[in-house]
Structures are given as structure tokens and as C-alpha cells.
Structure 1
Amino acid sequence: MAKIKYVIKRNGATVAFSRSRIVNAIFRAAVSVGGRDKKTAEKLADQVIETLESQCHSKQYPNVENIQDVVEKTLIEAGHAKVAKHYILYREERTRRRQKENPLTEQRSAYIPWAKMWKTLDWAVDHELNTVQKLNQRVEKGEIKEVIAESEAAYEEDIASVSVLIEERKEEVRLAIVAGPSSSGKTTTTNKIAHRLGKLGMQFVELNLDNYYFDLEMHPKDEFGDYDFESPQALDIDLINQHLHKLLAGDQVLMPFYDFKTGKRHPNQTPMKLKKGDIILIDSLYGLYPPLTDGITDSKVRLYIEPLLQLKDEHGKYVRWTDIRLMRRMLRDAIHRAYDYEKTLTHWHYVRSSETRNIIPYSGSADFIINSGMPYELALYKPKLFDGFAEWVEKYKDDPLRQDAYERATRIFNLLQTISPHPDDSLVPQDSVIREFIGGLKIG
């Protein structure tokens, strides 16, 4: 049992010491460079703790920087140079973020799809849906049906444009990828495109990347001990790439099967081979992650989806896309995973951390960007989620370990306070992207 009982965080708060956090930090760094040896991570963590205990006197607590220094030193001395390098780079990145009032602003601005945003904003202004006040006015005047119809028509226009893009390249395209961050609407969008082009005789074959997850015990965990499914390193990227090359070359592959109940992947389960004219369809968070399709060039079309809502709040600030996606995922997780809303909120910090590193930076490589944001969805979400956000603001305001959850809950709570609710979602079409999150989706 470790002698160290507490750790001093950067904000001065004293929290309970946790061996598992050190294990997870080392294991995450190892996974990022291709390692999967959890036992070695545990041994290294024990060495870190032993060193810390020798350095700390009775009633003296190490701070976060002390611990990270010892982790670096232990990794280097144990001969794990690559892991140490990744750990050091990650630590430096976090330091830079803390030192800047608005971290990574210049870098991230390069990822923003400005042309698409301006088009979306122009549409919002034309339809009196560019501010919360205007949205509320239309809802309160009983125009929710019209708002839904107008929003859905804009989304369908994007689907039609993408379909034309793929149809025009049907002689060369063998791989279609729909990528985007969590709860952006990839599944509905993928199905709609396949359904539309299927009517034109184009045949799509889905490659489900969920079957390529590593065994659960090989997944890294976040600082709270939750398994990390939100990283490309959770997938066997090398095997996916190998199978894609074989399929495109006309060879048969044996796809694995991942059992989410047991957390185990079973190899060589399902034979797959493309017929003439077949197009591989991938719907994945990490569809644009370069190693996934390394070596595959002209035969692919890449699509990126995000709820690019252009809606200003009462303070003149635009509603954040990540907040929309968080609310969407809360509703979807409750329906399909039996998660309560709070669990989704407290895990969202890790979702965001991964997507800012592994998804959003590659959005610029997409051939087309689809906007899945619907102004009316906020009016539907308020009756479902408002009370929960009010509760979480109070629950987490003094919890130093849940500051991310508190800040997000506060921001969304303040937004929803200003939204005129519409509790009846029966007007939402059954094939709407919003049905992916509130239930009742039916396409075709």
C-alpha cells in the first residue's frame, strides 16, 4: 500500500492519491506509440511511487509536477525512450494550453470551415434563425413546423450535393468515408447517402470499424478510470489499413468480430470480398485519420460532418457546436447504452480531448463538409435536459475534479434558460438526423 495519501493539484486543491492514474498515464503514452503491455505500465507506476515515497517526508504531499517529473525520469531510465518522448510532448502541450488565455487559437482557426460557415450563416439570416431571440420568436408564434421544414431542407440539400459529387466519380470511387466528431450525425448521413445512390444502382458495402477495437483490457483509461474508446489507438489501425488494401485489390478478407458484452475481439470471423462496382462505405470518428487509409489515394471520397449552427445567444456569442453534440449524445446514450445523462457529461472532457487531436485537425482534407445543425433542436432538448443541467451546476461547482463538467453544465444551463421550449417532437421527420438522438429514426 502506498504511503502517499494525497496529491496537490495545480490549483492548490488537495486530492486523494491514486496509483491507477499513474498507471493509466503511462499506458496511454505507451498505446500512442504502439505499446499494449499493461503489466509493464503497472510495474513502472510502482517504481514511480517508490521514488516519490523516498522523496517525500511524513505529512509532505507531492504535487502534480513532482509526479510527472518522476514519471519522465522513470521511463527514460527504464529504457522506454519512445514512450517517454510522447509523455513529455503531451505534457508540454498541456502546459502551453494552460499558459495561454485562448489556447491553440491560431492553430485551430485553420481547421474552421469558413466558407461553409458563411453559407450557413447567410441561410440563418435569411430564415430569421441567426439569434436565440429570433428562434424564440418563431417558436412562440407557432412556426415550429415551418422552422423544422426549412432546417431539414437545408440538410437535405447537402446530402443531394454529396450524392452528385459521388455519382460524378462513380467510375473511380471505391471507398466513401463519412467522418466527424461524436454525435455529429454520421450514421444518418451515411445511410441517407447510401440510400439515395442505391436508387441509382450504386452498391455500398459497409466496413464496420467497431469490430477492429482491441480487447478491452488493452484499452488505455482516462484519469477517472474510464476506458478510452475515443482515440484512434483504441482501434487496430494497421489491420484496418491492411484489409482495405486487400479488398480494393479484389482479395477476400476475414473480418474480426468485437463482442462489446465481453470486451473481446474474435479474429477471422466474417469473409468479405467486393463485387464489381462495390464501394466500401466507412462511417467512423477517425475516417480522416491519415494512417487509416495510408496508401489509398484517388479511389476515395472523404466527407466531414459537423453541426455548424450559426446561432448567437443573448450576449452575442455563437452557440458552441460541442455543446450541441454533448446534448445529442446524452439523449442517444440514454436510449442505446442505458447511460444516464450525467455519465455522458462527466466523460465528455475525454471525448473533446481526443477529437481536438485526432479528428478536427484532419477536417480540411475532406472533399465536402456537411452541416447537420438544426436550429430547432435546442427547443426540443430544453424540456428533456434543462433540469439535469441545473442540478449539475450546483453539484460540481465546488468539486476540483469535475471543473470541466461544471463549466460545460454552466454554459449549457445558461443557454437553455434563454430558449423557448417545444416539448412535442412528433413534427420531426422520421428520417431526420435529429431522430438519431431522440429516437424513432427510419430511413427508406
Structure 2
Amino acid sequence: MSRFRGLVRQLLHEDLSSLIGRLNVEGEQLQKIDRKESKIMVTRKHLRKTQNTLSFLLVAAYGEIMEDREIAIVHSFGDGYFFRDKDIKFKLDTEVVTKLKNKIQEYIEDEEKIEKTIMKRTQLVEIFKKKSWEHKLGILNTWRAEYIPILKFKHHLDYIIEPVTPKKHLITFFDLKPFHGGIVLRFPTLGDPQMKKPFSDRPKLFELIQERDVWAELLDTAYIDELNDHIYTKKIDRLKWVAEGLHGKKLRTIASKIAESFPSRRIVSIAGPSSSGKTTFAKRLSIDLAVLGLKARVLSLDDYFVDVEDMTLDKNGERDYEDISVVNLKLLIKRLKDLLDGEKIPERCFDFVNGVGTDNFEKMWSLGEKELLIIEGIHGLNPKFTSKVGDKNIWKIYVSALTQLNIDIHHRISTSDCRLLRRIIRDYQFRGWNPKETLKMWGNVRKGEEKNIFPYQELTDFTFNTSLVYELPVISIYVRQLLAQVKGDKELRVEAARLMKFLSFFFLLSPERVPGISILREFIGNSDFRY
């Protein structure tokens, strides 16, 4: 944490309203930059704009058809967003969903335009008060600009937080799917731009979302303004310990089930997208297993990378570090089978500086009578790996970071944004990368996740949500200043401004409050674990 100590001290003692005001001005100035975006950024930006505009139109349609009822966004789900009525007990049927779909299509074909404009903050406050949108009012308490950007269509308006488009002709595909008493608003993705793939139910993922809801209720914190209130009223420590306690309880449950089946399964494979906290999860799981009398060795799939010079190139002539081909599966699988057969294998380490893997024959591994192996890496659920080791030998765990917060009732917090913020800190502090480099490569990381991780997230025995409800006020202290360092590349500056804008809605929280074994420590440093 040494690189950040002065920064943390400065930000914690700086006047909060002054800091937020300064960041708002910086963000608005950067957003005015005239830029020519790269093809990847244009594609992603286009999709993001149409997705957010479709969400806006769904809220408008629900208000018109259901009159006094309110719809709430819950979380991303597959190729869409999951919505339900604000009253979770009120279930939506197929007839209502069909009416909503027809109404949105009517909006798109209507000659009336979507208006992208600005409104005086005081005027917007009065409108939100009349609608009893208390969580939006909470956001406006931190959004102190005199004029607020808004999106308006017919009877409905809302502030603009994420990129949107008033050009309805850009919305070419969408669908509404009744789902668990709510709705999945489906839209095009990079992998399926014309929505040719059928809707895919993901029971394990939805189970994780339901658990997220339970945790949010226990924490009594579902929106940013409620979290800010915990910080302002100095009740954040109780919230923190309950959040960490929920992690601990889930870890103990998983460890108990693994121990019950021992020794029939002696390998635990942990996979998940970038910056999910897989490494710390593996270390904490090994502790809970030790409490139950089992020892655990932790092996990283990264240490079994093939040498860089032997990596295959993609169609652009570049090395794809996210593809399973970078893992020396032949060597890895042989050694895992040797371990299960009672033989010893050398400790292996990949040197990322020189791009080569080496064996240390002075440190030989074996599995003792009460010992199992924990493997962590993004390809830990890939059947190309698990089937060759033997699925019957492996416990499979999917780890992700599904934030338990939303901005307000109609605006979600992107899970990928939260992971990106974690990664910006980790890359800067432990890998020596500047935030510009992390932002630049994030698009490829996301493409790799969609190809190599998400398709296998249902092939699991357990799922674990590593997100902590209080983490963004801590992360904000580090990331704001790092994002302000993004210079030169205009498209990356705009992306940095978007993230700074989002972070300005949070009150600050000292990293000193974060426990030493927290998963959050993997990214901000000063962990009680060694990495």
C-alpha cells in the first residue's frame, strides 16, 4: 500500500463536496472531447448506448401500462438485464410482458423523438420528489452540478449516467422474456449482434442473483444512497462485518461439503473472470478446509503456461493470453494424474518477465493422506481440461463479483466495471502497469471471458460471489487519482471520465477498515496472505 499512502491521506482529509465537484467538472469536460473511436470501442459503445436506451424505454412503457406500479432493474443476466416489479411479490405474467414488448416497439416506430438535453438540478429534484424516487434524490445529493443531463421521451424522463442514444433507428433488435415473475430485457451482444441465438436459462447464475438479493436484504443496502448513509452515520463497521461474515459463512459451507466427500474427490478447480478474487478465495478455502482436518495445496494454472515463444498467434498476429491454448494441458494433466496416483511432481513457476515456465525439482509435491489440491485459473471449468483429468475427481467452483448494489431503482452497477476498477488498482500496484494500459486491454479481456469462461459457468458444483457491498467507497480512493492520470488517447480519457463520474457518487471510506483476510485486500494490498 506504500504507493498509495499519501494519496489516501490526502483524499480522506479533503472536503468531500469539493472533491466531488472537481471530479464532476473534470468528467464533463472530458466527455465533450471530440473523438474518433477505434472499431472495438465503437462496437462496444454502440451496444452500451442501445442497451441503456432500451432500459429507459422499458421503464417508460411499464409506467404507462402498469400506471402506479414501478419496475426495478436487478442485475445483468446472460444477454440482457433482469427486471421485476418494485414489489418483489408482484409477479408479471406473459400477457403483461407482451404488452410491454409491443409498447416499446411502438415507441421505436413513433415519430416523437427521444430528447437528450439538460435540466436545472433544482427542477429535477422537484420532479423526483413528486415521483417519490428517493434513491435518485440520493444520487443528486452528490451530483452537485447546476445542470444535469437528462433523457426525455413523452411522459418519462431520467438523468443520464451511462451512455445513451436518442437515435431510435439504431435500436434494431430486442426482446422481452418472462422470467421468474419478472422480465429479461434481451439485446444484441458482440457475440450475437443479430440475436439469432435463443434465450438461455442459467439456473446457477440466477441462484447467485437470488443469493445477492438475500444478502442485500440482510445488509439493508441495495442502492448507493443507502451505502452513503451508512458511512455518513458511522454505521459502516457493522455493515462491513456482516458483509465479510456472509463471505465466511458461504466459504465454510463449501468447505464442509468438500470435506464430506473426501477422499473421493481430491481436486478443487476454481474459475472465474478477471479480478474476481480467485486467488484469495482459494487461500481462504484452504483455511476452512484445514479447520476440518484437511490440508490443501494451491496450484495456479498460470504457472503451466507454455513458453511465450511457443504460443500460437490469433488472426491479428497477436498472442491471445485468454485462450486455453496458452496452457500446457498435456504436461498439466499428466502431473495431476501422477499426483492422484500417489507420485511426486516438481513445483512449477511461470516467469512472466522472461515468458518461460520452469520446474523446481528441489521442491517436490505429493498429496498426503489428508491432503487435496486446489487449482485456480480462468480455464478451471473448461471441459478440455476437466474431462481429461476426470470430472468425477474434481469439485468445480465458479467465482465472480456480482455487485450487491445498484445506483438507483432504474440504473444498475456494471459487474464488469467493478472488476475493471479492481484490476486497475492491482495492475498499477503489483504489476507496474499504468491505468491507460489496463483500460486499453480490457476489451480483449472481456472478449476472452465471453469465449473462455462464461460458457462454462453452469458446469459448477458451487458458485461464490466475491463482491463486497462496501468495497467501492474504498476502491474510489485509489482509482479516482489513477484515472485522472489517463492522458493522450482520447477514447480512453472519455472512458476514464465515465468511471470517475460513477465513482463520484460514493462517499469515501478508509482502506484501514478493510480486514486483512478480506478478498478486497487482493487488490488494494496489505493482505494477511502472501501472493
Aligned twin of 1:283: 376
Residues 131, 311 of structure 1: 8 Å contact kept = yes
**CA separation of 1:96 and 1:440: change in aligned 2, threshold 3 A:** closer
User: Could you say what secondary structure the match of 1:113 adopts?
Assistant: helix
Give 2:449's match in structure 1, choosing from 355, 363, 377: 355
Give 1:419's match in structure 2, choosing from 500, 506, 521: 506
Aligned twin of 1:382: 476
Matches of 1:123 and 1:210 in 2, distance apart?
32
User: Could you say what secondary structure the match of 1:155 adopts?
Assistant: helix
Residues 310, 318 of structure 1: 8 Å contact kept = no
| Structure 2 counterparts to residues 394-409 of structure 1, below 5 A | 396-397=489-490, 399=491, 405=492, 408-409=495-496
Count, aligned residues: 346
The letter of the residue matching 1:177 is S
The letter of the residue matching 2:424 is M
Aligned twin of 2:423: 329
Following superposition, the deviation at residue 367 of structure 1 comes to 0.7
Once the two structures are superposed, residues 408-440 of structure 1 have per-residue CA deviations (whole angstroms, 9 ceiling, x without a partner) of: 545433321222222x11111011110111001
**CA separation of 1:206 and 1:383: change in aligned 2, threshold 3 A:** closer
Give 1:116's match in structure 2, choosing from 186, 208, 221: 208
User: Could you say what secondary structure the match of 1:281 adopts?
Assistant: strand
Matches of 2:515 and 2:328 in 1, distance apart?
37
The letter of the residue matching 1:386 is R
Give 1:163's match in structure 2, choosing from 255, 258, 263: 255
Following superposition, the deviation at residue 251 of structure 1 comes to 3.1
Once the two structures are superposed, residues 160-207 of structure 1 have per-residue CA deviations (whole angstroms, 9 ceiling, x without a partner) of: 111111111123121111211111111111111111211332122233
Once the two structures are superposed, residues 113-155 of structure 1 have per-residue CA deviations (whole angstroms, 9 ceiling, x without a partner) of: 1112112112213422111121112112122222211211111
Residues 240, 292 of structure 1: 8 Å contact kept = no
Aligned twin of 1:435: 521
Aligned twin of 2:96: none
User: Could you say what secondary structure the match of 1:241 adopts?
Assistant: helix
Residues 293, 370 of structure 2: 8 Å contact kept = no
Matches of 2:218 and 2:506 in 1, distance apart?
20
Matches of 2:365 and 2:289 in 1, distance apart?
21
Residues 289, 359 of structure 1: 8 Å contact kept = yes
| Structure 2 counterparts to residues 74-113 of structure 1, below 5 A | 97-99=192-194, 106-107=199-200, 110=202, 113=205
Aligned twin of 1:263: 355
The letter of the residue matching 2:468 is M
User: Could you say what secondary structure the match of 1:244 adopts?
Assistant: helix
Give 2:403's match in structure 1, choosing from 309, 324, 327: 309
Answering whether residue 379 of structure 2 is matched by residue 293 of structure 1, we say: no
The letter of the residue matching 2:514 is V
More displaced stretch, 199-208 vs 168-177: 199-208
The letter of the residue matching 2:273 is P
Once the two structures are superposed, residues 278-306 of structure 1 have per-residue CA deviations (whole angstroms, 9 ceiling, x without a partner) of: 21211111111111122412222111111
Following superposition, the deviation at residue 223 of structure 1 comes to 8.9
Matches of 1:432 and 1:160 in 2, distance apart?
15
Matches of 1:223 and 1:123 in 2, distance apart?
44
**CA separation of 1:9 and 1:391: change in aligned 2, threshold 3 A:** closer
> TM-score under structure 2 normalisation?
0.59
**CA separation of 1:439 and 1:95: change in aligned 2, threshold 3 A:** closer
Residues 342, 366 of structure 2: 8 Å contact kept = yes
Matches of 2:317 and 2:204 in 1, distance apart?
32
Which structure features the higher share of helix residues? 1
Matches of 2:190 and 2:479 in 1, distance apart?
34
Aligned twin of 2:102: none
Answering whether residue 497 of structure 2 is matched by residue 364 of structure 1, we say: no
Once the two structures are superposed, residues 47-89 of structure 1 have per-residue CA deviations (whole angstroms, 9 ceiling, x without a partner) of: xxxxxxxxxxxxxxxxxxxxxxxxxxxxxxxxxxxxxxxxxxx
Following superposition, the deviation at residue 406 of structure 1 comes to 6.3
Give 1:173's match in structure 2, choosing from 245, 261, 265: 265
Following superposition, the deviation at residue 277 of structure 1 comes to 3.3
Matches of 1:364 and 1:407 in 2, distance apart?
35
Answering whether residue 331 of structure 2 is matched by residue 239 of structure 1, we say: yes
- Unmatched runs of 5 consecutive residues or more in structure 1: 1-7, 14-92, 400-404
Aligned twin of 2:412: 318
Which structure features the higher share of strand residues? 2
The letter of the residue matching 2:372 is I
**CA separation of 1:139 and 1:395: change in aligned 2, threshold 3 A:** farther
**CA separation of 1:97 and 1:341: change in aligned 2, threshold 3 A:** same
Percent identity (aligned):
26
Once the two structures are superposed, residues 243-290 of structure 1 have per-residue CA deviations (whole angstroms, 9 ceiling, x without a partner) of: 222221223344554322321234684643333332121111111111
Matches of 2:412 and 2:502 in 1, distance apart?
11
**CA separation of 1:9 and 1:275: change in aligned 2, threshold 3 A:** closer
Residues 256, 292 of structure 2: 8 Å contact kept = no
**CA separation of 1:252 and 1:214: change in aligned 2, threshold 3 A:** same
User: Could you say what secondary structure the match of 2:392 adopts?
Assistant: coil
User: Could you say what secondary structure the match of 1:344 adopts?
Assistant: helix
The letter of the residue matching 1:234 is V
CA RMSD of aligned residues (A): 3.1
Following superposition, the deviation at residue 383 of structure 1 comes to 2.1
Aligned twin of 2:341: 249
Matches of 2:315 and 2:226 in 1, distance apart?
42
The letter of the residue matching 2:288 is R
Residues 215, 404 of structure 2: 8 Å contact kept = no
**CA separation of 1:390 and 1:315: change in aligned 2, threshold 3 A:** farther
